[in-house]
Structure 1
Amino acid sequence: MGRSLNEFIAALPPEEQSAIDARHQELKQEVEGLRELRQIAGKAQEDVANALNIKQPSVSKIEKQADMYLSTLRSYVEAVGGKLELTVTLPARPTLRLHNLGDVGVERGARPRAVARRRKPAAAR
């Protein structure tokens, strides 16, 4: 019978075990998308919908979007109990944090606005 992954790792030299553990910790900090972020926060789509003052299907739509306004992303992240921070990494420069991007027209303490919808072309109306 084969060995389990834990048994295999336990047989490695300590420095390799440390490297594997460090990489595992890095991967645990990465999130694939908004749905996973919401699940990690222990929130249901209905919880997020209530916080954003929108309907649950709109939350599902936000989670499936590949492109959105920063203000929508910020509102979503805050609805799951987080804080959005934007960083920029340039070659040979330290990481830079961008402040107030995505806050345009949003006053602190104001209710987040609903998901922006695309307008149908005039011919389709």
Structure 2
Amino acid sequence: MARKYSELRAKMSPTARAQAEEQTRQLLKEMPLQELRQARKMSQQQMAKSLHTNQSNVSRIEKRTDMYISTLRNVIKAMGGDLEVVARFPDGSVRINQFEDIDEAIKT
């Protein structure tokens, strides 16, 4: 018989609940585009409308492992976000801003 999550959660120890919450936070920090779109409660159809394309193109974009920065930026903007490219080094992080010029060049 299926049990409600709330019942199972109520039986968990406070330590186990805290560990589960931390694990959830970590999982939400990184995810594939498809899962990000779903977490933002958007359908491929809604995304396609925002990107001025069709649903099958959105599906193809979500399956790509390699794409242009401009394509990724457009997808993120369609979800209501902004894309930042950050290089991480042992002695610190650097935000790469040269890709911001792409939008300006396209507009002019």
**TM-score per shorter chain, which class?**
0.7 to 0.9
Letter in 2 for 1:29: K
- Contact kept, 8 Å, 2:47 with 2:79, in 1: the verdict is yes
Structure 1 segments unaligned to the other structure (5+ residues): 111-125
- Higher fraction of helix: 2
State how far apart, in whole Å, the 1-side matches of 2:82 and 2:105 are. 13
**Residue of 91, 96, 99 corresponding to 1:98:** 96
Aligned residue pairs, count = 99
- Higher fraction of strand: 2
What do you get for the CA RMSD once the two structures are aligned?
2.5
Give the match's secondary structure for 2:89.
coil
State how far apart, in whole Å, the 2-side matches of 1:78 and 1:109 are. 16
**Structure 2 counterpart of 1:7:** 11
Detail structure 1 runs of 4+ shifted over 6 Å in the superposition: none
State how far apart, in whole Å, the 2-side matches of 1:23 and 1:103 are. 37
Structure 2 segments unaligned to the other structure (5+ residues): 1-7
Q: Which has the higher contact order (CA 8 A, sep 6+)?
A: 1
Structure-1-length-normalised TM-score: 0.65
- Contact kept, 8 Å, 2:48 with 2:57, in 1: the verdict is yes
